[in-house]
Structure 1
Amino acid sequence: MTHAQFCRPSNKQRVRTLWISDVHLGTRDCQAEHLSRFLKAYHADRIYLVGDIIDGWKLRSGIYWPQAHTNVIRRLLTMSKRGTEVIYVTGNHDEFLRRYSKLMLGNIHLVDEAEHLTADGRRLLVVHGDQFDVITRCHRWLAFLGDRAYEISLVLNRWLNHWRARYGYGYWSLSAYLKHKVKGAVNFISDFEQAIAHECTRRGFQGVVCGHIHHAEIRQVGEVEYLNCGDWVESCTALIEHWDGQIELYRLADAQEAARSAQAQASVSPS
């Protein structure tokens, strides 16, 4: 057990592992406030940052860094200081960090990929996943072009949720909805899952935790357990490993709906 398990009692939920990816700090569409609240709610032995945490692509064209983004960094540093092991797996948007791979700063480790052993003994490959995206790897100009189209959908997403919040509705991702409806996007996601699952089989892993495509999911792909963290730009999702090795997919929208239901039930219950 690490020091993280011996911290003073608190109302945080104790879990074994957290995985988050595709935060894209430095962009206007980063849901930093939601992420900070999520991190504050958990006390983890280990947290994996599965790539694209800082958006180096966007920061090249101009600096956008509000206090909320600093708060996320401070929260991660606080977790590290209190004993949580922080493993930063580099992605394509923060590829400028890959030159510093294998750097260790106290409880913070910078790597290109990692291996995670679950509490029930499963070996999982932890990798961002851009290595298995043919467009990103072989056609960078198409990746940048697609990034611009994606930004447009995120702007619409931001305004939609601004008005939803004003009228008391929870978070909902327009861009994630479109991903499920556009045939090309569905095919791309399927090809990505198959490619990364094939690599896991070749290397003897029972599963993979990845990000990159902003599509959170837990499912079997052949013999491989495929787990995608999703993102904190459109869907606000994460993976949580409990102490028995069970891994669950956290969705902000589901958590908000559960909280509203509990509040409504409490309001009608007899005192």
Structure 2
Amino acid sequence: MPGEAPRTFRTLFISDVHLGSKPAKAEFLIDFLRHHEAETIYLVGDIVDGWRLRRSWHWPQTHNDVVQTLLRQARKGTRIIYIAGNHDEFLRMFQGVHFGGIVVADRAIHEGADGKRYLVIHGDQFDMVVHNARWLAYLGDKAYDLAIVVNRVVSRLRHWFGMPYWSFSSWAKVKVKKAVNFIGAFQDVLVEEARRSDVNGVICGHIHHAVIEDFGDVHYINTGDWVESCTAVVEHFDGAMEIICWPHVQAKTNQLEKTFVPSVIEGGVVEAA
């Protein structure tokens, strides 16, 4: 990849970077943006983690580099729409405001090259825990932090013993029955919102579970995250949508973290290798 021209797409969709949190894999995102360009970039919420920044300040240079990279792309003519999420909900009071060429919105309608229309929304608006039991959402956020710490320990141990990467946090989220039920319910309510909005599909984030799936007449797309799986959704110039798991692609030529061995994508779903 060094020396290669960046791949160009019609649109990039990126969510759940959680800048300001220690688990954020900013280096991977910087590398991804170095190798991928688009006419339009949607930042689909939780790019900045205001919840964690309120608890303790963590903003290394790499996190600043992500912001500067996006601002440079905006200056070069890339259209960038920042859809606010629950962790960066403070931005919702600035809807329609431009920051260095990046416009803030609560939701947007994206028209694909094939004429299909997509509702682009973070998705937390339909998470009843976030809205009706904020204390439980904060507790769940702390539990997720703990799962990420356990994930690092397990990853290092497996690396020392020559075993492939296995994500404890992803496994816990996908395999635990209540988590599976939550993901299913989340998908169902987003699909219904797409139908109410009279669009062909919905593109969201929030639950850190990358997938492209059809629910009847609605195309459901979740962009995943840049904490565990490091995934983004790209729109090709014919309107086709694809999930890119960047560590999976990037590890073919180099390694940013020797302890991070990529996940694989089967049927559009990110799963542990």
Assess same fold via TM > 0.5. yes
In the superposition, relative to structure 1, how do residues 14 and 191 fare at CA in structure 2: closer, same or farther (>3 Å)?
same
The one of 41, 45, 49 aligned to 1:55: 49
Runs of 4+ residues deviating >6 angstroms: 165-170
Offset of residue 177 of structure 1 = 1.9
* Alpha-carbon distance between aligned partners in 1 of 2:162 and 2:81, rounded to the nearest angstrom: 37
- Structure 2 contact 26–66 (Cα < 8 Å) conserved: yes
Aligned partner of 1:189 in structure 2 is 183
* Aligned 1:154-173 pairs, distance under 5 A: 154-162=148-156, 172-173=166-167
1:180 pairs with 2:180:
no
Aligned partner of 1:254 in structure 2 is 248
- Structure 1 contact 240–248 (Cα < 8 Å) conserved: yes
The one of 209, 212, 226 aligned to 2:206: 212
Aligned length: 252
1:165-215, Cα deviation, whole Å (9 max, x unpaired)? 678877653211222210000000000000010011112010000000111
State the identity %.
Answer: 49
Offset of residue 36 of structure 1 = 0.6
TM-score, normalising length: structure 2: 0.87
- Structure 1 contact 18–47 (Cα < 8 Å) conserved: yes
Secondary structure of the 2:120 match is strand
Secondary structure of the 2:8 match is strand
Across the aligned residues of Structure 1 and Structure 2, the Cα RMSD in angstroms comes to 2.0
Secondary structure of the 2:32 match is helix
In the superposition, relative to structure 1, how do residues 167 and 120 fare at CA in structure 2: closer, same or farther (>3 Å)?
farther
Aligned partner of 1:84 in structure 2 is 78
Offset of residue 61 of structure 1 = 1.2
Amino acid at match of 2:178: G
- Structure 1 contact 126–209 (Cα < 8 Å) conserved: yes
* Alpha-carbon distance between aligned partners in 1 of 2:161 and 2:218, rounded to the nearest angstrom: 42
* Alpha-carbon distance between aligned partners in 1 of 2:71 and 2:178, rounded to the nearest angstrom: 39
- Structure 1 contact 170–253 (Cα < 8 Å) conserved: no
Aligned partner of 2:135 in structure 1 is 141
* Aligned 1:72-151 pairs, distance under 5 A: 72-105=66-99, 107-151=101-145
- Structure 1 contact 52–212 (Cα < 8 Å) conserved: yes
- Structure 1 contact 25–32 (Cα < 8 Å) conserved: yes
- Structure 1 contact 161–172 (Cα < 8 Å) conserved: yes
Gaps of 5+ in 2: 255-273
TM-score, normalising length: structure 1: 0.87
Gaps of 5+ in 1: 1-9, 261-271
In the superposition, relative to structure 1, how do residues 106 and 148 fare at CA in structure 2: closer, same or farther (>3 Å)?
closer
* Alpha-carbon distance between aligned partners in 1 of 2:154 and 2:79, rounded to the nearest angstrom: 37
Amino acid at match of 2:83: V
Secondary structure of the 1:153 match is helix
In the superposition, relative to structure 1, how do residues 35 and 193 fare at CA in structure 2: closer, same or farther (>3 Å)?
same
Secondary structure of the 1:191 match is helix
In the superposition, relative to structure 1, how do residues 47 and 172 fare at CA in structure 2: closer, same or farther (>3 Å)?
farther
Aligned partner of 1:15 in structure 2 is 9
